[in-house]
Structure 1
Amino acid sequence: MLTTDTLIATPGPTEIPHRVLLALARRPTNPDLDPDFFKRYDEVRVMLARMLGTSKGNVVVWVGEAMSGLEAAVANLTVNGDKVAVLSNGVFGDAFADLVVSYGGVPIIHKVDYGKVLDPDKVKAFLRSEAREAELVTMVHCETPSGTLNNLKDIAAVVKSEGKLLIVDAVSSMGGTEVNASWGVDVVIGGSQKVLNLPSGLTILAVSDEAWERMEKVSYRGFYLNIRLWRDVVERMEFPYTHSEPLINGLLESLRMIEEEGLSNVYARHRAISRGVVNAVEVMGLRLVPESEEYSSPTVTAFYTPDGISEAKVREGAFKYGVLIAGSWGPLKGRVLRIGHMGYTASLNMMTNAVVALAKALNDAGYRVKVSDAVEAFLNGVGL
């Protein structure tokens, strides 16, 4: 290898900024007893509440990879026999149905092709017909395996108009594009290892008043995934179990960086870098997984490998040039490559390196592209 540090250009986990690394390395105390830790935890909640359009009292941050939040949302809101409307246009949308079954619910699935996005009008028709008896609805905002971004605002409005509660997997979108609980989202789930540029290990939950009320009625009896136990932890100065002080320190620094840049600027940066990467991919003659560029997520670009070219070989080639890119999951596994441009990595310098490594790897695998054309397309797409 001629490289030193490898650029992580995957859709999570991601690169960690220097400031966040320093925060992670800060000497810990005892988060169960240190009053200052509760202040830092509360500051995190305040900034997340501003980002997510809710109040800090509705924000929970606990120890556990984001999947724990997805499971907890279903566990805390579902009782045996409940019908749950599952909106799915991808691998993780499908996974919600499995979680519903695990907790005794009955999933009613509205499924569209992985390259498409959810249509609010069709969702409304579905909720009024097959899923009219469902009180809960699940969906994924950004489907990373296919690189699509659903219209959360309009779908949330549809779900609310039908009087149902909405659970949203925003793990790969939170912080990279607007996610606003006030649109009518009852549980928003995020994770630390995506746009927020931390190691995995924290789940972020924003819970509506209506969802809290339903949780009281469901009265989930588990412990580790019991969201109700976290509602007043700052007021009580007591966590259900020991928190991760390094990860909270890192999250606090990450959120400060976002606020310093300004949320609107952060979102604009993600959109610009995404346009650049999509432009480069298309100039290289590669086909996006989303059927339309407007369906593409600002945090990840997914595209098919050329016929006869090994997806694994392209990834290995890019790694040789110092860039780690990803394959995909489920039915797309082995056929699709993905470049993540999340948080810190949604930047001109890092994505220029990623585009060069991809182009060189494709050439090495026998698919001819002109590296300079790919870079020029990227820069033009960004707006330079």
Structure 2
Amino acid sequence: MVEQAQGVLADGTRVAALRVPGARALGVSVAVAGGFADDSAAGAGRAHLVEHLRHHHAVDASSQFIDAAVLSAGGLSNAQTYPFHTEYSFLVPADDRRSVLDWIGRARGRLEPWRATPADLAREIDLVRREVAERAARSPLAGFPWCTALSGIAGGDRPQDALSDLAGLDDVSLADLDGGRVDPRSAAIGIAGDVDPAAILADLDASPSVTAAPFHPLSSPTPREISLRRIGLGAPARSDIRLIDLTQPGVSRGLLMIATRILSATSGSAWRSGLFGELLGPDAALVLATQIGATDDGVFRLPTPLSGARAHHAAFEPARRGAARAIDEYLSGTGTASALVARDVLAGFDVVADRSAVADAVEHDVIDLCAHILQAPSGRVVWEPVVTRPGAEAAA
């Protein structure tokens, strides 16, 4: 049985703690609402920039840089911008409850104004640009379908290629970024280690109740078809995207994990929930069907209805085991577990409940969910390769 406790601090910050038996390191993660999908077209790239500034230039109550404190203690530190939230995580040695509470206190410094100069800002902008350039150089499909798929279901001026669009960094100043202060009510802290979750929350004077509802990143989806062209792409790539209402009876994140595995096994596309992954953010209600390449006649194989009762039955148990294994892997390490419970308590999910739902899943209920997914309205993003003459790409 997984031991977990969730609560809310006096300032509104949500908190979750999870025991990882035998763990030698403490994992602490801070999840903040807002990511690259929230950038406007004019501000594209600023969520990524804010992540860098908060990661490298946040200070604790003693005015020590948090990242430096982690590294000097022999720990590891990382940050990541996702579509709808941003995470700041570290792993450190922590031998007793006092040190655990000290590190949690340091992590809360991520929500306070950072200490950065214009020179720091210039360095971080340069680093963001280099990171994005390196990602694009590694693969012409960088960012597909994870962020571009949003273009197939979201209206407004959301960037179609949000990871590589950095227009908002051209003339940005520290004043434009509001100092980095975060409303505690839009943040959460996750703690994972060989700790007593209930005792940790008691030490933090956390209220035992959390009232967050499941987070729907797009309350009013607008399905549409978008066609993009990409130099260096060897074959067409397509992603269909659907929004599934997780508040409906018989629908949950855990059951979606099983259903998408069944769909992958019985149709012509690779299916998954979540833009970056099924447990990697509040966007678990977004379901993607992706295919790279085309059939012999040059036409994409569309996602097809399930191919019969025998296929349903054969796919169910491997899919259920795969979903259970995916959850267990996240819960087995303090780094992944702390990040998971932080984003879960922020978004209104509960990984322990999901694990139980997977274990207790009934085959016909999951097959019904598969049919529901296939019937949901979908948007589509297609990337077409650009054929260039020798030397034309370099000239461009």
Flag the structure with higher helix content.
1
> Greater CA radius of gyration, 1 or 2?
2
TM (norm. structure 1) is 0.26
TM (norm. structure 2) is 0.25
